[in-house]
Chain A
Amino acid sequence: MSSIPSYATHKPETSCRCSAYLDWLQMLTGACLILFMLMHLLFVGSAIISPSLMNGLSKVFEWTGMAQIGGPVIFFLLLLHFVLAARKIPFASKQQGIMIANARRMHHLDTWLWVIQAVSGMVILVMGSIHLWTVLTNLPITAQKNAMRLQDSRAWIGFYIVFIPMVWLHTGIGFYRIMVKWGIVGIDGRPGLRKKDALIAATAMVIGFMTLWRFVFLSIN
């Protein structure tokens, strides 16, 4: 049996479940972050309808402690998810080259999607941290504060123009990958899922940009 090791070991039990646990964690943290992002979208998107609606929601979060506790938890999930996923991302340039060469040679969409996910993941790690830090150190969240930040400095507008698409590319592709990798969607379902998923991500991106637009032109008083 392959369970009998051919080398000396200090472990009484040879089978290690850690790969399985880490894979579970990677998927579950990813799924949580996807759910969070959808709720976050509804939350900030509410500003499009009315900034006071968003402020109202924010008060609820503040009052229930969701912002104070949930915020740092999300931050932690983001970091954890990155560490878990990074186990699979090549950091050696030779391996990165192999991956990109393969995607290019095969003209293979799913391999390209993975490359996008890996790159956007890195970007989100940095920008997401900045975003979260800025927001969480200035609680409670209000539409006016957001507007002020954006209207104060154009750099922040540039920041979100990059950040929003990165987030939704990563979230959209991540959702698609969970569905196919975990056998939830079958072979025939894959192209259809890809289309629907792209539609949802694109819608989210549009709502994200509309919110950004709203904040940039929101009268602060």
Chain B
Amino acid sequence: MARMLTFNIFRYNPQDSASFPHMQEFRLEETESMTLFIALNRLREEQDHSLQFDFCCRAAICGACAMVVNGRPGLACHTKTKDFPDKITLMPLPVFKLVGDLSVDTGTWFRGMAKKIESWCHTKKVFDPNAQEERMDNALAERIYELDRCVECGCCVAACGTALMRDDFLGATALNRIARFILDPRDERTEKDYFDIIGTDEGVFGCMGLFGCQDVCPKRLPLQEVLGKLRLKMAFAAANNLLPKFLRREVRL
């Protein structure tokens, strides 16, 4: 016997003066292997054409469909209804500007973040189309990719108490991005350059160690370790000139 699912969905269209924020209840019969992608599309096509939500790749690769499912941020496309009780509450991600219903504007936030932390390889070299590529150790390439796997879904920011309270906090995704560039020898920025970006209370020292980020990251990035090592690295970067030689440390990520 298929379950009858009850969806409680946040509704608000800021562009409609008659609309106000409220929860709306929908009912839908569960089918086999049902994901929220299947369920939400059916609700829109069969019950309410105005329902807003974002999906793109629907394969957990692009990060478009992050929303708060029964209290926890996650990607809707790989959320299977069978893992949930028959009442499912869907809310848009906090922190990001609401577009309507479950749809939020993550693009502006992440573009702003990329500009703020200068998310690119800083180099004085010029590309030579006729030259062989610079060599890199395969193990290092794999370590860079490990951190580069972030899909900018915004779950880590939405689950972070610090980011919720303070809108100037960079968030785990930005700190992880910096760690990726620290690992990458193609980025010629120095430790001091990195310290200027993240060595503040808006950066790595603002992290209060709640690790909501680690616990919700749909790509299972090692955010807790990245943040921990970054804190240690930046803390020693600041303290090394005060410490006696035998206590100084060059922290490697």
Direct contact of A and B (CB under 8 A): yes
Instruction: Using CB atoms and an 8 Å cutoff, list the residues of chain A in contact with chain B.
Output: 1-3, 14-17, 19-24, 87-88, 90, 95, 98-99, 102-108, 110-111, 114, 177, 180-184, 186-187, 190
The smallest C-beta distance from A121 to any residue of chain B, in angstroms, reads 13
Contact, CB under 8 Å: A182 / B165 = no
Residues in B with CB closer than 8 Å to A106 are 71-73, 159, 212, 216
- The one of B117, B197, B200, B215 in contact with A110, judged by C-beta atoms closer than 8 angstroms, is B215
B1 at the interface (CB under 8 A from A): no
Q: Nearest CB to that of A183 among chain B residues?
A: B228
The smallest C-beta distance from A209 to any residue of chain B, in angstroms, reads 29
Q: Nearest CB to that of A100 among chain B residues?
A: B161
List B197-253 residues whose CB lies under 8 Å from chain A.
197, 199-201, 203, 205-212, 214-216, 222, 224-225, 227-232, 234-235, 237-239
Give A15 to B203 CA distance when docked, in angstroms.
13
Q: How many residues of B contact A (CB 8 A)?
A: 47
Give A107 to B70 CA distance when docked, in angstroms.
10
Q: Indicate whether A99 sits within 8 Å of B200 (C-beta atoms), given known contacts A111-B212, A181-B207, A183-B228.
A: no
B118 at the interface (CB under 8 A from A): yes
B68 at the interface (CB under 8 A from A): yes
A-B contact pairs, 24 of them (CB 8 A): A1-B122, A15-B195, A15-B196, A15-B199, A20-B199, A20-B205, A20-B235, A20-B237, A21-B238, A21-B239, A24-B235, A24-B238, A24-B239, A95-B165, A99-B161, A99-B164, A105-B68, A106-B216, A107-B72, A110-B210, A114-B210, A180-B228, A181-B209, A182-B228
Starting from the known contacts A1-B122, A20-B238, A108-B210, 8 additional A-B residue pairs (CB-CB under 8 Å) come to A1-B196, A2-B196, A15-B192, A19-B199, A19-B203, A95-B165, A106-B216, A190-B224
Give A111 to B116 CA distance when docked, in angstroms.
27
Give A99 to B210 CA distance when docked, in angstroms.
11
The smallest C-beta distance from A211 to any residue of chain B, in angstroms, reads 31
Q: Nearest CB to that of A105 among chain B residues?
A: B71
Q: Indicate whether A111 sits within 8 Å of B161 (C-beta atoms), given known contacts A106-B212, A184-B228, A186-B225.
A: yes
Q: Nearest CB to that of B228 among chain A residues?
A: A183
Instruction: Using CB atoms and an 8 Å cutoff, list the residues of chain B in contact with chain A.
Output: 68, 71-73, 116-118, 122, 159, 161-162, 164-165, 192-193, 195-197, 199-201, 203, 205-212, 214-216, 222, 224-225, 227-232, 234-235, 237-239
- The one of B205, B211, B225 in contact with A23, judged by C-beta atoms closer than 8 angstroms, is B205
Give A177 to B231 CA distance when docked, in angstroms.
13
4 A-B pairs with the lowest CB-CB distances in the bound complex, closest first = A183-B228, A20-B238, A181-B209, A17-B238
Q: Nearest CB to that of A109 among chain B residues?
A: B215
Residues in B with CB closer than 8 Å to A102 are 159, 161, 164, 212
Residues in B with CB closer than 8 Å to A105 are 68, 71-72
Give A125 to B203 CA distance when docked, in angstroms.
28
Contact, CB under 8 Å: A110 / B235 = no
Q: Nearest CB to that of A27 among chain B residues?
A: B235
Give A2 to B214 CA distance when docked, in angstroms.
28
Q: Nearest CB to that of B73 among chain A residues?
A: A106
The smallest C-beta distance from A207 to any residue of chain B, in angstroms, reads 27
Q: Indicate whether A182 sits within 8 Å of B232 (C-beta atoms), given known contacts A3-B196, A23-B205.
A: yes
Q: Nearest CB to that of B233 among chain A residues?
A: A183
Give A105 to B70 CA distance when docked, in angstroms.
8
Give A21 to B243 CA distance when docked, in angstroms.
12
Residues in B with CB closer than 8 Å to A95 are 165
Q: Nearest CB to that of A89 among chain B residues?
A: B208
The smallest C-beta distance from A31 to any residue of chain B, in angstroms, reads 13
Give A152 to B234 CA distance when docked, in angstroms.
52
- The one of A177, A182, A187 in contact with B214, judged by C-beta atoms closer than 8 angstroms, is A187
